[in-house]
Amino acid sequence: MAWEAKTNHTVVPDGEVMNEPTTYEIVIRGRASERILAWLCDDFSIETIPGRDTRLVGVIRDAAHLHGVVTQLTSLAIDIVSLTPAEPDRRSPLQTN
């Protein structure tokens, strides 16, 4: 079976290309220590979901930043459970809007 690379990646649900900072919620499997996620501490709030997973909420500047965060997480063998734009009531305290 031949695989084709997708050349037009979109990063928002409505199909528009991301062109402004957006708050994202990333849920990763298991409990991750702040030591492992230290590189995210300046840009993301980190919360452990009791008994389950770890929730990260932060502002992603653009598509390249999003891809960089995902690449870094997966390079550490961290499973991403979900990655979605945050609901208005779940935004990062770091966001100024």
Domains of the chain, each with CATH number or no CATH: 22-87 (3.30.70.120)
Structure tokens belonging to residue 60: 């992603």
Q: Please give the residue that has the higher pLDDT: either 4 or 18.
A: 18
Residue 88: pLDDT band (50, 70, 90) is low
Q: What is the C-alpha to C-alpha distance for residues 36 and 56, in angstroms, rounded to an integer?
A: 13
The gap from C-alpha 51 to its chain's centroid, in whole angstroms, comes to 21
Nearest to 42 by CA among 61, 29, 28: 61
> Which pTM was predicted?
0.71
Query: What integer pLDDT is reported at residue 66 of this predicted model?
Result: 93
Query: What integer pLDDT is reported at residue 9 of this predicted model?
Result: 47
Q: What is the C-alpha to C-alpha distance for residues 82 and 77, in angstroms, rounded to an integer?
A: 15
